[in-house]
């Protein structure tokens, strides 16, 4: 697992405390897991994603990531409708490890407004939060 110093926490993204990142473009929120989550889980072997058209609820699970040592729920940072899922992950779950912010994205969620998105942690606050976890761990 990476140390805090080694982690790549992107400035241009918003975050949930459950380690999902979110990026809003128009009325679409793209969601993935961050470098902390992928590094904590280790080699991801399977990604369970919802089908397009299902509802996503903020704070509720919409899928899961499975590594050789754990299965971890994926929580939606916003409420809306799933309009796209990253199909490449069904054959190549390792993309979540290799490229959590680009090729390893998970779903796109269509949202009515930006209220929930705006309430997510910005990268500075999230970095602080992750640092406290890192301290506890060592």
Contacting residues toward another protein, per CB under 8 A: 43, 45-46, 48, 66-71, 93-94
Q: How far is the CB of 44 from another protein (least distance, A)?
A: 9
DSSP single-letter state for residue 66: E
Q: What are phi and psi of 52, to 5 degrees?
A: -60, 135
Output the smallest distance, CB 67 to another protein, in A. 7
Q: To the nearest whole angstrom, how small is the minimum distance from the Cβ of residue 68 to another protein? A: 5
> Which of 66/134 has CB closer to another protein?
66
Burial track 39-75 (b if 16+ CB lie within 10 A, e otherwise): bbbeebeebbbbeeeeebebeeebbebebeeeebebb
Specify the residue, 48 or 110, whose C-beta has the smaller distance to another protein: 48
Least CB distance to another protein at residue 71 (A): 5
DSSP 8-state secondary structure symbol assigned to residue 58: B
Nearer to another protein, 66 or 110 (CB): 66
Q: Which is nearer to another protein, 23 or 50 (CB)?
A: 50
**CA distance to 19, 22, 55, 115, per residue, from 101 (Å):** 12, 10, 23, 23
């Amino acid at each position: 697992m990476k140390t805090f110093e080694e982690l790549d926490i992107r400035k241009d993204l918003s975050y949930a405390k459950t380690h999902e990142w979110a990026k809003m473009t128009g009325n679409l929120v793209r969601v993935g897991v961050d470098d902390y989550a992928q590094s904590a889980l280790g080699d991801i072997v399977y990604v369970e994603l919802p089908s397009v058209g299902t509802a996503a609820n903020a704070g509720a699970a919409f899928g899961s990531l499975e590594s050789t040592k754990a299965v971890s729920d994926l929580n939606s940072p916003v409420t809306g409708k799933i309009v796209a899922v990253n199909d490449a992950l069904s054959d190549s779950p390792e993309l979540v490890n290799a490229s959590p912010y680009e090729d390893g994205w998970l779903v796109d969620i269509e949202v009515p407004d930006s209220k929930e998105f705006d309430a997510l942690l910005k990268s500075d606050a999230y970095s602080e939060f992750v640092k406290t976890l890192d301290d506890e761990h060592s």
